[in-house]
Amino acid sequence: MNPTVGTTIKAQVTDENSQFFFAQVDGFTYEIDKSELQKPLKLGGFVTGFAYENEDHKLQITKNVPTAQKDVYGWGTVVANRHDLGVFVAIGLPNKDIVVSLDDLPTITSLWPQKGDRLMIAIKEDSKGRLWGEIAQQNIINAVSRRAPQEMKSKQIKATVYRNKMAGTLVLTEDYYLGFIHPSQRDDEPRLGEVVNARVIGVRDDGTLNLSLKPLAYKTMNEDATFLLLQLQRRSDHFLPFNDKSNPEAIKRQFGFSKSQFKRALGHLYKERLIEQVDGGIKLVEQ
């Protein structure tokens, strides 16, 4: 019979020394650190807490219940990684980090979680009684998520990457909305467990958010294009009676720059699909 680990147990207190109380269940002895107790235990009485094997390979019971347990998923913080083993995740145990095996991590090691990233995991036990972290799969993420409202459009949010796919990056926001980042909406692929700042560019019918990691178009345009965009935005009809065939002197009087500058600015705005050419000028595209 293996000792009970990875769950909350009730054990009978049998002994103590200056640092620990000792309690037994099914013939196995667990130590309880006195420093975490608010009041002493009584010999012959019972203690309830989370059972695990600590970093010294000793059985221990802690009153500090971790964020993740067997069949209970919770967030943990990555504290280290080893390419021959996996990543170490802190879940609140006083002297034990849980390892997520490299078999459960992306094949591309640059996408592995780094120190400070976060993973939603539960605890699983192997045939030798060792505890491992089990990353939440899609069915678990779906169970804890909720539908995003349509008014999320254009808002800035924080989200944690929970899966990397060829089609794009899957994330879960701070408010537990599902999110998707298409490869076209990022410069670099974020890591598993990385917390990203994203912009909502759409809300699907099922409540999933389409997200972008790229800055707003006007932040990447040159000053002339930004100025021209602001001119369009300030007008009630979002229309300007100018185009690439307009008189250079009229352009200079209106905007203060040359026709070549004006055409380059138009090019930026057309490329970003922010404007369209209409009869007699240009108009802001409805977003």
pLDDT per residue as tens digits for the range 55-110: 999 999 999 989 999 989 999 999 999 999 999 999 999 899 999 999 999 999 99
User: For residues 176 and 144, is the Cβ–Cβ distance under 8 A?
Assistant: yes
Query: What token pair was written down for 158?
Result: 């924080």
Specify the CATH number for 8-62; select among 2.40.50.330, 1.10.1040.10, 3.90.1150.10, 3.40.47.10.
2.40.50.330
Query: What token pair was written down for 284?
Result: 């802001």
Residues 6+ apart with CB under 8 A from 202: 153, 209, 210
Domain 74-136 CATH class label = mainly beta
**Domain locations along the chain:** 8-62, 74-136, 146-212, 218-284
Name the pTM for this structure. 0.74
User: For residues 106 and 192, is the Cβ–Cβ distance under 8 A?
Assistant: yes
- Report d(CA 103, CA 89) in Å as an integer: 15
pLDDT digits (tens, 9 = 90+) for 206-261: 999 999 998 765 555 678 888 888 889 888 899 999 998 999 999 898 888 889 88
Question: Residue 249 is which amino acid?
Answer: E
Specify the CATH number for 146-212; select among 2.70.170.10, 2.30.110.10, 2.40.50.140, 2.60.40.10.
2.40.50.140
208, 90, 68: which is closest to 147 by C-alpha?
A: 208
Q: Say which CATH topology domain 218-284 has.
A: Arc Repressor Mutant, subunit A (1.10.10)
